Amino acid sequence: MSVINTNMSSIIATNAIIANDRDQQQAMERLSTGLRINAAGDDAAGLAISERMKAEVSGLTMAARNANDAISMLETVEGATREIHMAFQRMRELAVQASTDTYSHTDRAALDLEFQQLYNEIVRIATQTTWNNMTLMNGANDAATAAVTTTPLTIQLGKNAGQTMALTIKSFDPRTAIRNQLNLETINPGTGATILAGNVAGATPAVPLGGTNVASIATALGEDLSGNDEHIAARVAANGWDVRKNEDQAFGAAVLWSGEAGVATAAQSINILTRGNGAYTLIQMDKAITALSAERAKIGAFMHRLEYAGDNLTNVARHQEQSRSRIADADYATETTELSRTTIIAQASTAMLAQANAAKQTVLTLLQ
């Protein structure tokens, strides 16, 4: 039928051009952005899935960073404890040296001078070692309190809430191990004469008050040699000993600070000014070194665990990202093929539209 107002061939060609142009623009957009889904209309379900997976991947990646940051933080603490260990080793040497009568009280005073400086350095390390402006090693303790607390840390190790790892760092401040009534032996610094016998090295008061008879240490405290008072609590209560059962203190049962809690002037560090004090200090150094070694081992175990956690998070994130890529990223082989197809069709459909419009020119012959 020869009609002019409705050119069906032209309409079909026009519709084909519009549809092909839409496909061509989509292929060009995907090739330009590298994404298969650039808008919700491209793939509504795929968009929802890929965005959720994207959030999980970013969460896993950040959690892996958290693990690595926690390792760095623990390495800072462990490095500080290594220096404390070295100080303890030297302090033990000085205690051994002071525990013999081949040295005079003047010699011991010189030894104690170094001993106290090392003690002060341990306090400084515990109170001034920081990570990201956070003090981690003193448990928020100071000489004004007898309460010993740990520093609790929660490390986010997953993409969701609750996927955490709890760490605790004990107090490394030696002033948090207080025996309120410990009586160290004191002497006249000028003459070396004993002023106060104390309750160490052979003294046997009815209630030891936190001191320890060095000669009977093996039987008097027994398990206390391991650096942990917690399991002899009944014995402590029965004898009235003022022993700190401080599981939150890094040096176990070692007594490094004596005096009345809350009264700064009444508190003092242990010393090696006398042979008896040196022997008592030697026992405390052994306890402190043993407990500190265990604490460093625990920190090392935390670091190893975090290394495995970080590697696992990275592995999961990588494979999840791979799955998300299959949904959201453009396949360049497919899209370049689509662009070539739509380009050829665009050229062909344009030619067909021209032919459809030219075909109606034959109607003019009927009017001549």
Q: Give the distance from CA 283 to its chain's centroid.
A: 33
- pLDDT tens digits, the chain, 368 residues: what are they? 566 777 788 888 888 888 888 888 888 888 988 888 888 888 889 889 988 999 999 999 999 999 999 999 999 999 999 999 999 999 999 999 998 989 988 999 999 999 999 999 999 999 899 998 888 898 766 555 556 778 888 999 988 888 999 988 988 988 876 665 566 777 777 777 777 666 543 344 433 333 444 333 333 333 344 444 444 444 444 444 444 445 677 887 787 887 654 444 456 788 899 888 888 888 889 888 988 998 999 999 999 999 999 999 999 999 999 998 888 888 889 889 988 988 898 888 888 888 887 777 777 777 76
| Alpha-carbon gap, residue 273 to 56, rounded angstroms | 63
Tell the burial category of 364 from Cβ atoms under 10 Å away from its Cβ (0-12, 13-18, 19+). Answer: exposed
Start-end of H helices in the chain: 8-33, 44-98, 105-128, 217-220, 233-239, 275-328, 332-359
Which distant-in-sequence residues (6+ apart) come within 8 Å of 22 by Cβ? Answer: none
| Beta carbons of 230 and 121 less than 8 angstroms apart | no
Alpha-carbon separation of residue 35 from 9, 28, 190, 331, 357 (angstroms): 36, 11, 86, 8, 39
**Domains of the chain, each with CATH number or no CATH:** 54-317 (1.20.1330.10)
Q: Is 135 left (phi over 0), alpha (psi -120 to 50) or beta?
A: beta
Spatial CA neighbour of 295 closest among 117, 154, 150? 150
Spatial CA neighbour of 214 closest among 164, 270, 160? 270
Question: What is residue 132's DSSP assignment?
Answer: T
